Structure 1
Amino acid sequence: MNLLKYHGSLFRLCGFFILLVFASNTFAQTKILLKNLNLIDGKGGAIQENTDILIDGQHIAAIGRDLKSTGARVIDLQGKTVMPAMISAHVHVGVISGNAQSGTFFTKENVLAQLKKYLDYGISTVQTLGTDRPLLYEKGFRDSLMHGLLPGARLFSGGYGFNIPDPSISKESFMGNLYRPLSADEVPGMMKELNGINPSMVKIWVDGSPQTKMKPAIYQKIIQEAHRYQRRVAAHVYYLSDARQLIRSGIDVFGHSIRDSLVDDAFIAQMKARKIPYIPTLALDKFAHAYMSKPSWLEDPFFKAALEPGVYEMISSSVYQNEQKASAAAVRSAAAFRIALQNVKKLHDAGVLVALGTDSGAFPIRAQGFAEHLELELLVEAGLSPQDVIRIATLNAARVLRIEKDYGSIEKGKIADLLILDANPLENIQNTRKISAVYKAGRKISNGPLKF
């Protein structure tokens, strides 16, 4: 055997065992008994007062009043509220730094820092959609993140998305690693390659001007090939007319709100019949027009802690705010936001599965972590109850990722991903921002972004 190859294999094997020992030590712990808490279990029901939770290792072992467990470490929560840690089904990581976005920012250090930020804000699991880089799939990095073996939120990756050909996009652009087929004939080879990295979903960008939209023949072929590999397809969509055609083509998930017009009963019936989840990303359009004036959160430390360096100085400047006031795109986003609020209410009330996602991390102004809490507030603004909104941010999002067997609600046997709050979010949804502690797989990881 070649000596270099032998030593290389030996080093990789040693690295595997080191990771195994690290994981074993991480999850080897005494039982923890959380006492005197008010429980929101994520399933949409009423709060359970004066309840206890027993954690055994990574899992929830029991829930009930006056629990006892010999040898357990007892923590008296003194009436704090406990809900499942949140799950965001549409984010981006590693492509922003400071005031800029670029594919060159996609480093291991940047990805880990941003996943830590999500977890500090009570988001224990995220799904990226379409802008990841090959680095993520090297040396087991993505798999370690997905299984919670590294610090920060777990990461499910949609790999490399599909978009229209655009020669102006450089490889270094944050969207520079996407597939851009010129014809449907190119799709099978691209999908075969994408399938090789085991994406959680396939992302397609469909909308744009009539001259720049993805051709139906191409996205139909993408959907067909993805389904051949048992992969679901999520669409970046804006127009109702595109959404109708996508449903006819077999789309699996809508990754954004429909924002040009109100959905009608026939469309809603089609979504229900196909069981298509809807990820509204209301925060996207809110951020896009909020700085035409001074938003209520601008000086909130909970918001400022989520920003990349230099972003606060940019968005709080009079120059930026005047630019926003004069921006046709900001005016368009404000109108789109109003339609999005109405559509998510109609779809939710009709029984369509709505799940949390924000598109945070795609641009510096979409603050990772804070965006998810803002999304909850905006869903309540749309007319949904806090109980339903918390379910959207937990169990519903877990269902979109197909991980609801282990995550998304507080039930016996599930992984103990918990968000402990100093106030009840059913009374005021902004109370999700009053974070006392964050637990990931049965271990207290963080006191929130403002407590160190």
Structure 2
Amino acid sequence: MRLSHPLCLLALALLLFPAAASAQTTPAFTPQVREFIRTDAPLIALTDAKVIDGTGRPAQLHQTVLLRNGRIEQVGPVKKVKVPKDAQVINCAGKTLIPGLVMLHEHLYYTMPTGAYFNIAQMPYSFPRLYLAGGATTIRTAGSIEPQTDLAIKRMIGEGKLIGPYIDVTAPYMEEAALDIPALNTIKGPEDAARTARFWADKGCTSFKMYMHATRADLAAVVQEAHRRQLKVTGHLCAVSYREAAELGIDNLEHGFMASSDFAAGKQPDRCDYPAARRGLLQLPAGAPEMQSLISFLISKKVALTSTLPVFEPYTGREIVLGGGLEALIPQLQERETRTWEQNQRKDSASTALFKKEMGWEKQFHDAGGLLVAGTDPTGAGRTIAGYANRRQVELLVEAGFTPVQAIRISSLNGAIYLGRDKEIGTIEAGKQADLVLVDGDPEKDIQQLRRMEIVFKRGVGFDSAKIFESVKGKVGLN
């Protein structure tokens, strides 16, 4: 049977997907989403909680937080906050409230090689819900392979049809032809880069990402188009150095200093020599004045730096899948990741040394006054998975020398500041959107207790973290 008329196609869609059709007219959440909601009462009192509010101020004990109609109405000591009679009360004794995480290097895809070639595949079902389960209430997709899918997922989450965070959607990668990655978008010069930026901005993308072989001219063209619309540009660079990018007006640099080619011997303009860039970082002393100079320059240009420690975490003596998410993978991928992990044990001393230096450089950048934000980059070898890695990123910041209070601020308020949304999200303060996470434990005493997330509130609606994680076990790699 051939159905070519639009009305015929619509009738077929209604026949095959009646639940989706009825959801079009449903003003609230679909049953598939509501199944994972613990509470959506209009007035909620979270009582006797420890609050790490995301501002960087010391944690406060025995606090009550009132949520009304999706916003934080009041925060204060139990003895001073009067709980209204009609409030749903959740006793938080022995538990901790933190802001919803604002993570800025996320993707809705996962590593799925094409034969012998590196490639990535979209995870439209599992990854959005894993992000929310892992406490991320706002994410930026720092690079996309299916922007139309990302934009649709953002819309469907907003309409209550899917589970997930608020999404700042980044346009397709801005990359000159060089890498054999089938899913990667490529451009041909600055004019094409500018056209691509205009096209996807008109479609609704709100961020742009330059990639490894993009040139200075490409970057200048995209920065001009983005800034004309008050949008921002980030980059995982190589052909363009960090100093050059800052001079050209880039807003953000990804992967801390791990993508910096500034210290590569014999660096040629607009040429990416990744092995040389890596050697330059390996040979650079942790306290080198050259790095201090670069840090000062980036800060003077107000360039934010995204920490993505999970994607660089060494293998030896560490988890197979970061944050404990091995069971989220389909069985074939569990075998792949376990095998890769075993093969790399005690063979990654260079990576370990560079990883430790990177942690130190990020701390130096932060302590010097730079805006350090957080992300995970669920790609690379395949050990980095949405949700699980978000919590691991906070743990690794603590390993890097930040206090838990600082690590949580970097992973919440700092991201909100970068997005220009800090008046709405990023902290637990009266008047802000009710995006916060209830943790069954005290991450200030033991940062790994952050993994004991119980309820993730997004605009005052409390989602069951454990139940969402359980629903996605064995599905990553399928969709």
TM-score, normalised to structure 1, is 0.82
Report the Cα distance in structure 2 between the residues aligned to 1:137 and 1:406, rounded to whole angstroms: 23
Q: Secondary structure at the match of 1:79?
A: coil
- The match for 1:85 among 100, 103, 124 is 100
- The match for 2:400 among 360, 382, 385 is 382
Aligned partners of 1:159 and 1:197 also within 8 Å: no
Change (3 A) 1:272 1:390: same
Aligned partners of 1:281 and 1:357 also within 8 Å: yes
Unpaired segments ≥5 residues, structure 2: 15-20, 259-280, 472-479
Answer yes or no: is 1:143 the counterpart of 2:149: no
Which residue type is aligned with residue 85 of structure 1? G
Report the Cα distance in structure 1 between the residues aligned to 2:433 and 2:236, rounded to whole angstroms: 31
**Structure-2 residue corresponding to 1:218:** 218
**Structure-2 residue corresponding to 1:230:** 230
Report the Cα distance in structure 1 between the residues aligned to 2:159 and 2:420, rounded to whole angstroms: 14
Change (3 A) 1:355 1:142: same
Aligned partners of 2:247 and 2:301 also within 8 Å: no
Which residue type is aligned with residue 342 of structure 2? Q
Unpaired segments ≥5 residues, structure 1: 207-212
- The match for 1:312 among 334, 339, 345 is 334
- C-alpha displacement of 1:281: 0.8
**Structure-2 residue corresponding to 1:414:** 432
**Structure-2 residue corresponding to 1:280:** 307
- C-alpha displacement of 1:369: 1.6
Aligned partners of 2:171 and 2:201 also within 8 Å: no
**Structure-2 residue corresponding to 1:209:** none
Report the Cα distance in structure 2 between the residues aligned to 1:90 and 1:197, rounded to whole angstroms: 21
Answer yes or no: is 1:58 the counterpart of 2:77: no
Report the Cα distance in structure 2 between the residues aligned to 1:124 and 1:159, rounded to whole angstroms: 20
**Structure-1 residue corresponding to 2:47:** 35
Aligned partners of 1:38 and 1:47 also within 8 Å: yes
Change (3 A) 1:96 1:432: same
| Superimposed CA distance per residue, residues 255-281 of structure 1 (whole angstroms, 9 cap, x where no aligned partner) | 211132456343223222222111021
- C-alpha displacement of 1:68: 1.5
Change (3 A) 1:187 1:344: same
Report the Cα distance in structure 1 between the residues aligned to 2:372 and 2:392, rounded to whole angstroms: 16
RMSD: 3.3
Aligned partners of 1:147 and 1:154 also within 8 Å: no
Aligned partners of 2:321 and 2:383 also within 8 Å: no
Change (3 A) 1:362 1:157: farther
Which residue type is aligned with residue 246 of structure 1? A
Aligned partners of 2:322 and 2:392 also within 8 Å: no
**Structure-2 residue corresponding to 1:74:** 89
**Structure-2 residue corresponding to 1:268:** 295
Change (3 A) 1:34 1:164: same
Spell out the pairing of 1:92-107 with structure 2 (5 A cutoff): 92-96=107-111, 102=119, 105-106=121-122
Which residue type is aligned with residue 68 of structure 2? D
Q: Secondary structure at the match of 2:415?
A: helix
- C-alpha displacement of 1:362: 5.6
| Superimposed CA distance per residue, residues 74-121 of structure 1 (whole angstroms, 9 cap, x where no aligned partner) | 121223111112121101113446999755x43xxx313211111112
Change (3 A) 1:300 1:279: closer
Report the Cα distance in structure 1 between the residues aligned to 2:23 and 2:409, rounded to whole angstroms: 37
**Structure-1 residue corresponding to 2:373:** 355
**Structure-2 residue corresponding to 1:321:** 342
**Structure-2 residue corresponding to 1:439:** 457
Q: Secondary structure at the match of 2:139?
A: strand
Answer yes or no: is 1:254 the counterpart of 2:253: yes
Q: Secondary structure at the match of 1:41?
A: coil
Report the Cα distance in structure 1 between the residues aligned to 2:113 and 2:62, rounded to whole angstroms: 44
Report the Cα distance in structure 2 between the residues aligned to 1:132 and 1:189, rounded to whole angstroms: 17
| Superimposed CA distance per residue, residues 23-63 of structure 1 (whole angstroms, 9 cap, x where no aligned partner) | 9x989733111111111111111111111111112111111
Q: Secondary structure at the match of 2:455?
A: strand
Report the Cα distance in structure 1 between the residues aligned to 2:6 and 2:375, rounded to whole angstroms: 46
Change (3 A) 1:143 1:404: farther
Change (3 A) 1:331 1:184: farther
Give the stretch that moved more between structures: 90-99 or 356-365. Answer: 90-99
Which residue type is aligned with residue 412 of structure 1? A
| Superimposed CA distance per residue, residues 285-321 of structure 1 (whole angstroms, 9 cap, x where no aligned partner) | 11xx31xx341x349984334445433322333x653
Report the Cα distance in structure 2 between the residues aligned to 1:421 and 1:16, rounded to whole angstroms: 32
Q: Secondary structure at the match of 2:25?
A: helix
Which residue type is aligned with residue 257 of structure 1? G
Q: Secondary structure at the match of 1:316?
A: helix
**Structure-2 residue corresponding to 1:334:** 352
Q: Secondary structure at the match of 1:18?
A: coil
| Superimposed CA distance per residue, residues 232-275 of structure 1 (whole angstroms, 9 cap, x where no aligned partner) | 11011369x81011111111101211132456343223222222
Report the Cα distance in structure 2 between the residues aligned to 1:189 and 1:55, rounded to whole angstroms: 44
Number of aligned residue pairs: give it.
Answer: 419
Answer yes or no: is 1:114 the counterpart of 2:127: yes
Q: Secondary structure at the match of 1:159?
A: coil
Aligned partners of 1:83 and 1:420 also within 8 Å: yes
Report the Cα distance in structure 2 between the residues aligned to 1:342 and 1:97, rounded to whole angstroms: 32
Which residue type is aligned with residue 63 of structure 1? V
**Structure-2 residue corresponding to 1:210:** none
- C-alpha displacement of 1:350: 0.5
